[in-house]
Amino acid sequence: MKNKLENLLQFPCSFTYKVIGLAHPELINNVIKRIQIYIPGDYTPVIKSSNKGNYISIAVTVFAKNFYEIENLYLELSKINMVKIVL
């Protein structure tokens, strides 16, 4: 049974992940490395810092071939140690 997100998307499609985590320099590299494993490509992340500088948000748009890629990458990004939330 398909979920709501899967019903809204037509594949292949662009999909943007927003990863929020602790403001450590290696977080950006870890996020990009994890994305490269599942959906290889050239990525230019959009980085924003929180007001106090304790957290950063990393927005990355990927080109997914199917919902399985989107779902697996979401789970893998969530496993990164410094990540607080993946949207």
Q: What is the pLDDT of residue 9?
A: 85
> Is the Cβ–Cβ distance between 75 and 19 less than 8 Å?
no
> Per residue in 22-41, pLDDT tens?
999 899 999 999 999 999 99
Calculate the CA dihedral of residues 9, 12, 78, 29 and round it to 10 degrees. Answer: -140
Helix (H) or strand (E) holding 19: strand 13-22
Nearest partner of 31 among 64, 65, 62, 68, judged by Cα? 62
Domain annotation covers residue 42: yes
Domain annotation covers residue 3: no
Domain annotation covers residue 5: no
> Is the Cβ–Cβ distance between 65 and 11 less than 8 Å?
yes
Domain annotation covers residue 66: yes
Is residue 59 over pLDDT 90? Answer: yes
Domain annotation covers residue 6: no
Task: Give dist(CA 22, CA 43) in Å, integer.
Answer: 20
Domain annotation covers residue 8: no
> Which domain CATH number covers 38?
3.30.70.260
Q: What is the pLDDT of residue 25?
A: 83
Is residue 2 over pLDDT 60? Answer: no
57 to 31, 47, 60, 64, 81: CA distances (angstroms): 11, 6, 10, 21, 15
Question: Structurally, how many domains does the chain consist of?
Answer: 1
What's the mean pLDDT in 5-30? 91
- Which pTM was predicted? 0.88
Is residue 48 over pLDDT 70? Answer: yes
Domain annotation covers residue 56: yes
> Please, which pLDDT band fits residue 7 given cuts at 50, 70 and 90?
confident
Domain enclosing residue 60, as ranges: 15-86
Domain annotation covers residue 50: yes
